[in-house]
Structure 1
Amino acid sequence: MDHRNQTSVSKFLLLGLTEDPELHNLIFSLFLTMYLVTVLGNLLIVLAVSSDSHLHTPMYFFLSNLSFTDICLSTTTIPKMLVNIHTQNQSITYTGCLSQIFFVLFFVGSENFLLAAMAYDRYVAICHPLRYTVIMNPCFCVLLILLSFFINVVDALLHSLMVLQLSFCTDLEIPHFFCELAQVLKLACSSTLINNILLYFMVGILGGIPLSGIIFSYTWIVSSVLRMPSAGGKYKAFSTCGSHLSVVSIFYGTGLGVYITPVFTHSSRKTAIASVMYIVFPQMMNPFIYSLRNRDIKVSLRKLTHKIFPFY
């Protein structure tokens, strides 16, 4: 087999979602629309939370960070895909590919931790309402964000540096629309045993712990709500958690689908299509879920609209 040292690798080829050129215009239009909706929707959430003092609470602080993370994650992958389709050039530089690996890992991990922090916030609010302001104080909330930032930077940097140690073959085609770490590892000529062990270990730890925290939080939330004597109190408690539960279901549901897909199909192209549901779809849907299900966000968005368009 022809080997090529990692220092001589100048670019990879992103094969995208289909080889049919007739579908490229459709995919370009679809992903451009999804990207613009994602950026605009999440940007409105960030502006609504930052401009309305009534939303300066831990729950909406985490929500605005989640929206910002969604914008960044989509920007890491979709624009490059759109440029490649428009220029009919499938290449991505070696540095660009490593950058995508780093930022995808970082922002996916950050979203994972933010969903866990939001679940903990709802747990404290419902199960320990009298201690809520003491426990969820601003310093603690900022500390959670900084801790998430540090952990995910270390994780993403570790994986990226491990890729730098690999040698690659002459076949540098990635059957995906972005540089996914697992797909890049398949192109290596040198041993990737340590890389794969590290990948699955970190996914298990950094994915499993937040998910366990979410399950723990909602187990106690449901238990507390069911003990409430008032039907109105139960409805209010569940309504405050409805939006977050919907986002959690989409995020982990689509993520699980990506890992289940390879079990039933050996087609990398089908795995790439499944990844769209994980990398693109949840980020687009989050603003709709929160704006449609959350009364405070609706009110704040109306105020923001009147500020921007006073004659509307």
Structure 2
Amino acid sequence: MIKKRRDSENVPILDLKNGQESLASRISRKSSSISTNKEEFEIHPDFGTGNILRLKTGRLCVNISKIHLTKDLHFLPKETPGFLQLFFILSGEKIFRTANNQEYSLESMQACMIQKTFEKEVRILADKILKEIQIAVPLDYLKDYDVFKNEAGIEEEIILLPIHEQAFSILEDIQENDFREQADVILLRARILELIAILLKTHTKNASNDLSATPDHILKKLSHIKKTILSNLRTNFSLEDLAMESGLNAHTLNNEFKRVFGCSINEFSISQKMEKARQDLENTNKMIYQIAEEVGYKNATHFSAAFKRKYRCTPRQFRNRL
């Protein structure tokens, strides 16, 4: 998503571009070694609170961050030639600015894939807790795949994609595994390859989705329905309700919505309800039954079952992990 952001002039910028230090080593301090391949870093109080878990095997590196900054953090990223960079934002926001001053905002439940080091500046906003998984994959690991044989394989500077349920499930596995055994390391590499495949497949599907085939007046109606759902997550609209709201018949509305946005209206509605519930579980002290009601579930058991289908744990289990 491309957005205009609040003014960042006169804000100190950490320059990591040409040095040996990583961002983690600048804003945190090592607190423990969980295993041979896994270390934990605690955010320095001058920057905020939280921690960064680092998984490293050979040149493959995974950083799992949960941080709450006291002020916006601006930094020039370290050069990473020969690596594919993957960013998965589970909550919070991270902003990339390119050399031509174009800004890209990576928000909650969005992924980003970068094959070239092109960023001029990266910003992490202080008003939101950032939960992120960042993976640096050596291109040598991908030499057998045509799309990565040279830097022309991916044309875009940066690819932004939603984190779908299949990818989220893999990210959950990566967070929960200590990777103490050699077999675990093999599994980690396999799971990361699977993540890359999912991102590429999603990107290819999005690129082939020609929105020019949809008349402007239909696109406006679809956008209106999407906003209606997002603004009324407490309400359980029927397809007929939304068809009447849009002025389209139910069959056309659902088919066009799925073609343009990649999911059915029901799938989109449930996904957004669960995302809102997840954010409330993480960032508020609301009772679970209150959260359920606010996303349209009068029965907490039904809400818990829907949440578990998406996140593979109950709302209570999710909150206890925080």
Structure number with greater CO (CA < 8 Å, separation at least 6) is 1
TM-score (norm 2): 0.29
In terms of fraction of residues, the more strand-rich structure is: 2
* Greater percentage in helix: 1
